[in-house]
Amino acid sequence: MLTAQGLACVRGDRLLFKDLGFVLEAGSLLYVLGENGSGKSSLLRMLCGLLMPGQGEILWAGKSIKSHAEQYLPNLKYLGHLNGLKDDLTALENLQMGARIAGQDVTAAAALAALTAIGIARCANLPVRVLSQGQKRRVALAALWLSRSPLWILDEPFAALDVAATEVLAARISEHLAAGGMTILTSHQDVPIKAKSTVSLSLSA
Amino acid sequence: MNQTWLTLLRRDLLLALRRRSDIATTLFFFVIVSSLFPLGIGPEPAVLSSIAPGVLWVAALLAGMISLGRLFAADFADGSLEQMLLAPQPLAWLVSAKIFAHWLVCGLPVVLLAPLIGLQYALPNDALWVLVYSLLLGTPTLSLIGAIGAALTLGVRGSGLLVALLVLPLYIPTLIFGAGAVAASQHGMSAEAHLSLLAAVSLLSLVLAPLATAAALRISVE
C-alpha cells in the first residue's frame, strides 16, 4: 500500500502543488491528470524517491520510502520520459541487462518472450540506435512483462505508441492490476484499463 | 548483489567496445601529448629524463580527465542513470562498478603504454618499472576522484571545463607522489615511500569517492 500525505512540490520558486494526498491499495489504478507543466512528472519522480518532496511524506506499507528505500525499491518499477536504453546495445541486451541491474535475473528466452509480447521481437538483435521512437518505447515497456514488482509508476506510457501497442499495453496493465498490483500513470490519451478501483488525481496548474 | 555489479561492469565495457573511438581518443591524446615534449625540447637525454616523470604523469592525468565527461553524461541523458538510482543495491556500490569500468577503459591502457613512451625520454629500466607501478597505483585515484567531479557537474552547461577546475586540484597529491616515485628511482633512491603514499591515497579515495559520487548523483538527478 502506497500512501502520500500532504505532498508539496516546488520547482525553482514556483509552487506546483501542495497538500496532495492519496492512498493506493492493491489492485488499484491511480490516474494523474493535469496540463503540461502542472507537475505530473515531478509527482511521479517524488513517488519513486528521485525527487524530495518540498513537504509531506510518502509511505510504503506504513514506512517512509526515504528511510526504508532498500525495502521500497524492489517493489517499484518506474518508467519515465526517458527510456533508459543504451543506443549501442541491442534491444535484447538492453532488456536483459536492465532487468539484472534492477536485481532480477532474466534469461534471454524470457527477455525475447517479453519483446514478442509487445510485438517488437523482430528488432531483438538490432542496436536500439536504429529503432524509431515508438519502437524504442516498446523495448522499454517490454520490461513490464518481466517485472515482478507490485508497484508500477509509468510516466506517459502510451506516448509514441501505435493503436495496437496501446491495446496490448493496456491489457498488460489490467492483468497486473487484476493480479493485485498497483499502477500509477499519467496519460493524455483516454485508454480503457480495467481495475478494481480507479482513482483520478487532478493537478491544477 | 554481485551480479548487478558485474552486469553494470559488463555493460560499460561492452559499450566501450562498441564505441572504440572513445578509448582511442584517450590513448591517442596521451601518446601525442607525451610525444610532443621530446620533439619540442630536443633530444638531449639528460634533459628529457629529468622532465620525464612530471611530463608523463601530467599527460596521464589529462588523458584520464578528458574522458570523465562521458562517465555519467550518457547515462544521464538516456535515463539509465535514473534506473540505476532505483536499483535495490546501494548506489555507491553500483557507482564503483562504473568507476572500475572507466579505469579499465581509460586508465589501464595508459599504464600499459607508459613504458613505451618512457623509452622516448631515455628513462632507465628501473625507472620505467617504477613508472608503471606508480601509474598502476595512481590512475585508479584519478578515476575515483574524477567520478565525483563528473557527478557534480552532470547536466551543467560547459561541464567539461568545470570538471577540470574541480578535479585537477584534487589530483595534486597523486601527481606529486607519482612523479616523485619515478624521480626518486632515477636518482638511485628507493621509490617505496612515494609508492606507499600513492597507495594510501588510492585506498582513501576507494572508500570515500563512491560514497561522494553517489551523493552527488542524487543531487544532480533531482
A125-162 pLDDT, tens digit each: 999 999 999 999 999 999 999 988 999 999 999 888 88
Q: How many CB atoms lie within 10 A of CB B1?
A: 11
* Total domains present in chain A: 1
CA-closest candidate to residue B83, choices A147, A77, A180: A77
Q: What is the ipTM of this complex?
A: 0.88
CA distance B216 to chain A (A): 13
Give the confidence band of A97 by pLDDT, cuts at 50, 70, 90: very high
CA-closest candidate to residue A47, choices A154, A181, A137: A154
Give the confidence band of B1 by pLDDT, cuts at 50, 70, 90: low
Contact (CB, 8 A) for A89 and B11: yes
Structural Rg of chain B based on CA atoms: 18
A204: helix, coil or strand?
Answer: coil
In which domain, by residue range, is A170 found?
2-203
Q: Nearest Cβ partner of A103 from B78, B85, B87?
A: B87
pTM of the model: 0.91
Q: In a mutagenesis test of the A interface, which of B7, B23, B94, B222 is the best target, namely the one with the most A β-carbons within 10 Å?
A: B7
Q: What are the grid coordinates assigned to B139, written together?
A: 590512475
Task: Report the amino acid identity of residue A108.
Answer: A
A35-85 pLDDT, tens digit each: 888 888 889 999 998 988 888 899 998 898 888 888 899 999 999 889 999
Q: Note the pLDDT of residue A205.
A: 54
Average pLDDT, chain B: 91
Q: Note the pLDDT of residue B213.
A: 96
Q: What is the CATH number of the domain that holds A195?
A: 3.40.50.300
- Segment A195-204 shows an average pLDDT of 82
Q: What are phi and psi of A183, to 5 degrees?
A: -140, 135
Query: Which residues neighbour B172 within 8 Å (Cβ) at sequence distance 6 or greater?
Result: none
Q: In a mutagenesis test of the B interface, which of A101, A149, A156 is the best target, namely the one with the most B β-carbons within 10 Å?
A: A101
